[in-house]
Structure 1
Amino acid sequence: MYVVMVYDVAVDRVAKALKIGRKYLTWVQNSVLEGELSPAQFAQLKAELRRALEESDSVRFYILREGSFRVEVLGTSKNEPSQFI
């Protein structure tokens, strides 16, 4: 599956989120990483982030598979979009 990770975390945890994310994904710009992951790798990434971050932080994963798309959120969902363009 192809995963795009976008994070909005407190300043003191930005480096942690980036370090964990870079173990699994490629850093493409500030607060955005992406890459191909197996389901096991994706589960490991989420588990590491849950341990390092706080509930007030927000991490969104955009998961693309053949013919499907879904969004998962860790932490606080800042604002749910009403529609995608």
Structure 2
Amino acid sequence: MYVILVYDMGQKRVGKMRKLCRRYLNWIQNSVFEGEMTEVQLKELLYEARQLMNEAEDSLILFKNRDQKWLDKQIVGVERQSTDNFL
């Protein structure tokens, strides 16, 4: 599945959350990540994220789709991190 993840964390936890998300997804912009992942990977990511979060103060939002081809993505301005995987 294709996932877009957005989070808003307390300053002390934001670095740890960024590091966790980068293990699973492509970093797009500040607290925004996207990429393909399996259902198992998503469950692992959410489990680990909950360990880092203070759910009374922090938030994590997921947008899921079966495939990236069904997502119309438009970038205005500078793309911070390209998700192309050219070798």
Q: TM-score, normalised by structure 1?
A: 0.75
User: What residue ranges of structure 2 are gaps of 5+ in the alignment?
Assistant: 71-87
Give the share of equivalent positions with the same residue, in percent: 43
Residues 12-49 of structure 1 deviation map (CA, whole Å, 9 limit, x = unaligned): 11101101100100001110000000000000000000
1:1-85 to structure 2, matched below 5 A, reads: 1-55=1-55, 56-65=57-66
| Counterpart residue number, 1:81 | none
Q: CA deviation at 1:50?
A: 0.5
Cα distance in 2, alignment partners of residues 50 and 6 from structure 1: 14
Higher relative contact order (CA 8 A, sep 6+): 2
Amino acid of the structure 1 residue aligned with 2:66: R
User: What residue ranges of structure 1 are gaps of 5+ in the alignment?
Assistant: 69-85
Amino acid of the structure 2 residue aligned with 1:22: R
Amino acid of the structure 2 residue aligned with 1:13: R
Aligned Cα root-mean-square deviation (Å): 1.3
Q: TM-score, normalised by structure 2?
A: 0.73
